[in-house]
Amino acid sequence: MNSRKITKRVWKFTRGKKTRETSTLVREEIWSLFVQDTLVNTFLCSGNYLNELALGYLAYKGIISRREDVLDLEIDHEKNRMQINIAPECKGFVSFQVQNDAEKRLPVELDTDACRKLKSRKGEDLVVDKEQVFELMVQLNEQSVLYKSTHGVHNS
């Protein structure tokens, strides 16, 4: 498995002054998620917590609804491929395939800002004040080892 961090010489601008420094950056990779050998999504990510990424995405899309829906999950680090086989009774995958079949003629784009498209499936009535949001953001960043060293990763 490749290192998630790289060190590079960068230009840093502070108060109008330019300096040359060494900085630690996160290294992202393109990973493909397949269900029953069908490509369902391509991610640009650090490659950490791939099981959680794959299962969370499938749950968010309604393809699976419980852990028992997953028959097996294989991570291939050489091909940057996640392969999941699900139980045949998972109806969410059938509707996902039908929806995607209608879109196959469209050009495929790698969406690196997918967060702006997310919609809550549960908790529609949940109200969180802005102070709580910022407090949770700080807590997430404090708990993320990769964020602490690079200050440049998304976490959730």
Confidence of residue 54 (pLDDT cuts 50, 70, 90): very high
Calculate ∠ Cα 61-62-64, nearest 5°.
Answer: 115
Query: Which CATH code is given to the segment(s) 28-140?
Result: 3.10.20.10
Mode of pairing for the β-strands spanning 81-86 and 29-35? parallel
pLDDT at 88: 84
| β-bridge mates for residue 57, sequence order | none
d(C-alpha 63, C-alpha 46), whole Å: 24
| β-bridge mates for residue 25, sequence order | 6
- Higher per-residue pLDDT: 136 or 70: 70
pTM, to two decimals: 0.59
Helix, coil or strand: residue 152: coil
Q: pLDDT tens across 93-139, in order?
A: 665 555 555 455 444 444 444 444 445 455 567 788 888 888 888 88
Contact 1, 146 (CB under 8 A): no
Contact 141, 156 (CB under 8 A): no
d(C-alpha 143, C-alpha 147), whole Å: 8
Say if residue 13's pLDDT is above 60. yes
**Average of pLDDT values for 72-96?**
86
